[in-house]
Structure 1
Amino acid sequence: MTRLGLLLVFAAVAFRVWALSRSWFYFDDLAFLSAGMNDPLDWDFVSRVYAGHVMPAGWLVIKALATWAPYRWPVWAGVLVLMQVVAAVGMLRLLRSMFGETRVVLALLAGYLFYIFTVPAGVWFAAGINQLPLQIALAFGLHAHLEYLRTGRWRPLVVTLAWTLFGLAFYEKTFILFGVYALVALCWFATGTLGDRVVGLWKRRYRSGVVAHGVLAVAYLVIYLQVGVAFGSDQPSAQLMSSVAYRLIAVAFSTGAIGGPFEWRAMSANALASPTDLISLGSWVALGSLVWYAATTRTISRRAWTLTGFTLLANVYLLSSARANLVGADIGLEYRYQTESAAILVLAAGLAFLPLIGAVEVNQLRPGADVDKERPAVIKVLTVAVVAAAVVSTLGYVQNWQQSNPTRPYFDNLKASLARSPVTPVPLVDLSLPQNLLWAFGYPENTYSHVFRHLADQMTFPETAVDDLFVLDDTGTVRPVTIPPARTMIGGTGCGYILGHSPTTIPLDGPVIGGGWWIAMDYAAPEPFSVRIGLGTSSTTMKLPAGMHTAYFRADGSFSEVTLDNSAPGTDACVTKLVLGDPGAQQ
């Protein structure tokens, strides 16, 4: 059993290694890299909240990787592989402890290993650094929790809480494990009505466990409510929740459970489940038939599905309140928001059909139940069919993931363009990455100076420049800067504004407010000179060469004119053109 289980784990991990081998950093990965390369390792760093995620242990991993292996994808991918191996071995261990040495364990393990639910988190670091520790905590934490329920000893209780705390350190959603632990205890280690079960657990040898779990859960919840709910924390409407629920449960989950969704709607490198109506209908029939068959052949199968119901409803509420109200209900079609469904589904299926070892209430065959459909050959065929379907679905997702990620081509173009540049290091305006690489709300992590920290010897980010100033176009290629005029100088005679012995004021055709502006000033000078440039309450100084040139300088703040206070050699220099605008790339 162990060898066959490990063989399945090896096959699944090898499949993921292949998927990762042609992957690269994507979207939030760049924000993590940027923060890890630029920010000091202190309390503010590890306690920061990213898009609602409280993940101090994740930040520590990111800091280590960004420091020692920036942009070395094989190293970062290796961390994902390691976590997937640990989670897979933990799931094999958990299933054996729950159901014993039965070949059905292998079927359940195969489902967990190959279901599409875990694929996005398995190939995308930003998702995996949250989701994979949750899977590890689920596998090892539930194993220890079951040992505690069977023995009542304090040591497995401590281990349970330790694994749960481990998961919480990476991902706040690990909080759902408290609900999973409670359901397992109430449904299989107590008897009577719900009230009787609650009282029974308290009066039996589990009082210390209830208190310990309650203290940890309440303490974490208080902390999270203080620091982690600012990102999309409005209460969702019933209409929004129903829309998310339909997509997450009736489309993504149901089709994923039978090996789907088979078809995808690409969203850049990511993809949403897009099964046909026929596939969705078939999945409802298949899952309904499975639940009905278990209920008619087993004595206490129905309670097993409370695990899936609880986690799915939790996902619906969390997505509706923290994501869907910002980006729409289709987010329910993303499998990375229900990664744990692979584990929960196979655990629920096992509990629906098999007796749980050591349980107070044991799931048994109903007298006279017809179980002819459960012949080993039938189980093998169904397992192979679901796994094969899941592999097909995974290939579709991974193919899009590998071929549609815009990040790697952008970085390859950047490196090649830097190598070709006649100006070294290349002076760049410190702009932000294109929106398809990283959203603007990640500022300043999305700026050139942060993201390209590992290329610091090949580029500079000056506040002023003469003639040579560049930006990156949307493909990552270095291009000369252009300043589309939002404001221009007005007035001037002859060659424009002739500098004299006193400061020269050049009015603009409108007021300027805010930041991110640059000014391009064309001038001609018989001699090199220095000039102090006044912009409202701020100023900067430049040394300008003789001849006809273009001077560039940042122009932040509020002002409506530019004041030039030049040195004596600058007398009779002429400013022929001055424009202010948002820097862009010349085409």
Structure 2
Amino acid sequence: MLSRRTIWSVAITMIVAQLVVRGWLAATGNFYWDDLVLIGRASSNPILSWDYLGHSHDGHFMPAAFLVAGVSTVIAPVNWVVPAVTLVVLQALASLAVWRMIRVLAPQAGIGALAALAFYLFSPMTVPAFAWWAAALNSLPLQAAMAWIVADAVLLVRSGGRRHDARFIVIRSTVVFVVALAFFEKSLFILPVAFAAATLSARSGVRGRPDDTAVGSDTDRLDASTEPTETALIRAFTGARTLWVVLGGVFVVWLLVFFSVSDATAGEHSISQTLRLVWRSINNAVVPSFVGGPWEWERWVPSPPMGFAPVWMIVLGWLVLAALVVWAVMMRRGALAVVACVIVYVVAAQIPVMWNRSSANTALELAQTMRYLPDTALVITIAIALIISSPPSCRHAPGRHTGVRPERRQAGVLAVALVGALAVASAMISLASFSSSWRDDPTGDYLANAKRSLADHQDHTMFDQALPLEVLLPVAYPNNQISHTFGRLRERPEFGVTTDRLQVLDSSGRMVDGAVTPARTIEPGRGACDRPEITGPTELSLSGPLLQWRWTIGVGYCANIPGQIEMALDDGPAQQVTVQAGLHVAYVQLEGRGHGISIRPLTPGLALHTGEGRVGEVAEARLVG
């Protein structure tokens, strides 16, 4: 029998080991996709404004996640250090909260409690959502809050609501619930999970003294015959009545707020595709995780890594899962109810997110990214703790046998430790494969090169441009524009619509000369540098008409004096352009359409002669010729 001190020492060692591994994963990672969207919004909006905090991001209402991302962007724009630290700190809070929950649910358990903790700490189901900053800002607060509130609810129920600090527990759980909801609306699931856990715990007959305040305090196991199991639901409700009422009120209010601001139900949806995605998530992601899989992760940039478990691993996962369920049902009283509740959650929790992404064009491999499964891993951990804390079934009750001999008990402990070690080793193989695939992404190198290039070229105004397709697709517009991604940088050129030197970032993030594609050409003026033809409002003729669009114009000119001119297209706003005396080139971006470009000197005495020019899009000069 492991001592309490040994159990705690091993648990803390496991948590530290997890944080070291996760720290390495965070340190070798970088920003990806939605991370840049969060940065872009934080760079183009005041971070304390409702337009920023209350924005519906891909159907999510997550003001606290936006706030953390905004503060990080203001402190260290496009710097991975702060997000990486955020990931490790949030993971530490979640892991400690889970261990506290396990000790509350199973205060007498030894190796079983450590097994439950190991499953949570090292399950591949929790890895992808950790490495991806935007996903972690949703998921990790949910995990920490769910573990904390489940433990608080069980403490209240076991005391029959007679704890001296019951009011304080209700207040702190409410605060934790609200904070978790502010990070991720999926935290609404915390309430039904906590109620189910409290009810199932009440069925087991484990109770703490009303004045228990410390985790792992002495408990008494009541004989199930003294209180019929049919009253477990009533005990769970009455023991924490105030908690359920308060959390229920928060649940309803937040649900109303969510549906009033979120566009989660927008887009095309398919019931059949939802069911296929849910099954793929369970069969190809959840089940292999019971044997530490998958071992193979592949990435189709710009998509996130997807786990591909071989058939043998899926079959082995089902066999291990079946064996664990059979053992639990045969050996532990009430285990069937626990297993049933877990099955309901694993399926039900996947339906909303898969429904939201169930268009006919959604690839089934989306379900194999496993970023929607951390809370599922936590619920399975809760189930393990509940099962190991349950009394033996009638056929294995101590009164029917002489007891388990010490050598057999020790052999059982060693067997569990060995199997757990093998599962953790398998999970480490999976994590190493995931890390390799996660690093196979151009985003980090592009951002590093772009920051250096922007810092080295601060003297000339720069036109906005899209990030490379492999970094962020145009569907994220306008947050796929460099002015959004790098808007908070202090060392960078100004972004504008006029410049005298056209430069662009290439696909690697390096600054290169730019040029205008010749969608249309501008005819040269009939004058000369010594005989400027433009002294008043004039129209520059084009080689063909322009559709309504935002066009880039590049035109050479001679000016007799420095000053300001105004240029415009039909149905578009005019832009003021600064010109220099002598022979130069002006670049300007105009919105509109038409057959010509209106030009008008604003500075008294200013006259210009214009040469050939182009109207089109900005591109690298080497590609235009």
Q: Same fold (TM over 0.5)?
A: yes
Please state how far the C-alpha of 1:91 moved relative to its aligned partner.
1.2
The answer to whether the 8 A contact 1:25-1:125 is kept is yes
Identity between Structure 1 and Structure 2 (%):
25
Among 254, 260, 264, the alignment partner of 1:226 is 260
Residue 20 (structure 2) pairs with residue 11 (structure 1): no
Among 142, 166, 172, the alignment partner of 2:150 is 142
SS in 2 for 1:455: coil
Closer/same/farther in 2, CA of residues 168 and 397 from structure 1, 3 Å limit: same
Residue 166 (structure 2) pairs with residue 151 (structure 1): no
Q: Unmatched 5+ residue regions in structure 2?
A: 1-6, 205-223
With the length of structure 1 as denominator, give the TM-score of the two structures. 0.89
Please state how far the C-alpha of 1:132 moved relative to its aligned partner.
0.5
Partner of residue 210, structure 2: none
Could you give the per-residue CA deviations for residues 522-579 of structure 1, whole angstroms, max 9, x where no partner exists?
33456656533232253233343344432211111243321223478665x5433232
Partner of residue 552, structure 2: 518
**In 2, distance between residues paired with 1:335 and 1:79?**
21
Residue 375 (structure 2) pairs with residue 345 (structure 1): no
**In 2, distance between residues paired with 1:203 and 1:296?**
28
Partner of residue 49, structure 2: 42
The answer to whether the 8 A contact 1:202-1:210 is kept is no
SS in 1 for 2:121: helix
Residue 322 (structure 2) pairs with residue 288 (structure 1): yes
Partner of residue 179, structure 1: 192
With the length of structure 2 as denominator, give the TM-score of the two structures. 0.84
**In 1, distance between residues paired with 2:443 and 2:547?**
33
Partner of residue 266, structure 1: 299
Question: Which deviates more from structure 2 when the two are superposed, residues 38-47 or residues 248-257?
Answer: 38-47
**In 2, distance between residues paired with 1:472 and 1:479?**
6
The answer to whether the 8 A contact 1:55-1:169 is kept is yes
Please state how far the C-alpha of 1:135 moved relative to its aligned partner.
0.7
The answer to whether the 8 A contact 1:300-1:363 is kept is no
Q: Letter of the aligned partner of 1:218 in structure 2?
A: V
Partner of residue 420, structure 2: 383
SS in 2 for 1:83: helix
Q: Unmatched 5+ residue regions in structure 1?
A: 357-361
**In 2, distance between residues paired with 1:10 and 1:305?**
30
Residue 365 (structure 2) pairs with residue 330 (structure 1): yes
Closer/same/farther in 2, CA of residues 35 and 365 from structure 1, 3 Å limit: farther
The answer to whether the 8 A contact 2:525-2:609 is kept is no
**In 2, distance between residues paired with 1:52 and 1:584?**
34
Could you give the per-residue CA deviations for residues 257-284 of structure 1, whole angstroms, max 9, x where no partner exists?
2100111121338311111122112212
**In 1, distance between residues paired with 2:107 and 2:473?**
49
**In 2, distance between residues paired with 1:416 and 1:235?**
42
Residue 457 (structure 2) pairs with residue 457 (structure 1): no
The answer to whether the 8 A contact 2:271-2:355 is kept is no
Among 328, 334, 341, the alignment partner of 1:300 is 334
Partner of residue 563, structure 1: 598
Q: Letter of the aligned partner of 1:136 in structure 2?
A: A
Alignment of 1:97-112 (within 5 A): 97-101=104-108, 102-112=110-120
Partner of residue 57, structure 1: 64
Q: Letter of the aligned partner of 2:426 in structure 1?
A: A
Please state how far the C-alpha of 1:337 moved relative to its aligned partner.
0.9
**In 2, distance between residues paired with 1:6 and 1:202?**
31
The answer to whether the 8 A contact 2:157-2:238 is kept is no
Partner of residue 474, structure 1: 507
**In 2, distance between residues paired with 1:302 and 1:190?**
12
Alignment of 1:153-552 (within 5 A): 153=161, 154-155=166-167, 156-189=169-202, 200=234, 204-205=238-239, 207-228=241-262, 230-233=263-266, 236-268=269-301, 270-325=304-359, 327-352=362-387, 354-356=388-390, 362=391, 364=393, 366-367=395-396, 375-402=412-439, 404-418=440-454, 421=457, 424-466=458-500, 468-489=501-522, 499-524=533-558, 530-537=564-571, 538-552=573-587
**In 1, distance between residues paired with 2:233 and 2:338?**
21
**In 2, distance between residues paired with 1:398 and 1:88?**
20
Partner of residue 359, structure 1: none
The answer to whether the 8 A contact 1:480-1:586 is kept is yes
Q: Letter of the aligned partner of 2:147 in structure 1?
A: A
**In 1, distance between residues paired with 2:539 and 2:59?**
49
Could you give the per-residue CA deviations for residues 79-137 of structure 1, whole angstroms, max 9, x where no partner exists?
21111111111111111111124121111111111111111232222111110001100
Closer/same/farther in 2, CA of residues 406 and 365 from structure 1, 3 Å limit: farther
Closer/same/farther in 2, CA of residues 166 and 456 from structure 1, 3 Å limit: closer
Please state how far the C-alpha of 1:339 moved relative to its aligned partner.
1.2
Could you give the per-residue CA deviations for residues 291-337 of structure 1, whole angstroms, max 9, x where no partner exists?
12322333321221234323322332122222232743322111211
RMSD: 3.1
Please state how far the C-alpha of 1:62 moved relative to its aligned partner.
2.1
The answer to whether the 8 A contact 2:291-2:313 is kept is no
Q: Letter of the aligned partner of 1:169 in structure 2?
A: A
SS in 2 for 1:564: strand
Instruction: Kindly tell me the number of residue pairs found equivalent between the two proteins.
Output: 573
Closer/same/farther in 2, CA of residues 347 and 185 from structure 1, 3 Å limit: closer
Please state how far the C-alpha of 1:391 moved relative to its aligned partner.
0.6
Closer/same/farther in 2, CA of residues 261 and 548 from structure 1, 3 Å limit: same
**In 2, distance between residues paired with 1:363 and 1:160?**
32
Partner of residue 214, structure 2: none
Closer/same/farther in 2, CA of residues 197 and 433 from structure 1, 3 Å limit: farther
Closer/same/farther in 2, CA of residues 177 and 586 from structure 1, 3 Å limit: same
Closer/same/farther in 2, CA of residues 363 and 515 from structure 1, 3 Å limit: farther
SS in 2 for 1:459: coil
Q: Letter of the aligned partner of 1:87 in structure 2?
A: A
Q: Letter of the aligned partner of 1:445 in structure 2?
A: N
Q: Letter of the aligned partner of 1:406 in structure 2?
A: P
Please state how far the C-alpha of 1:232 moved relative to its aligned partner.
4.7
Partner of residue 118, structure 1: 126
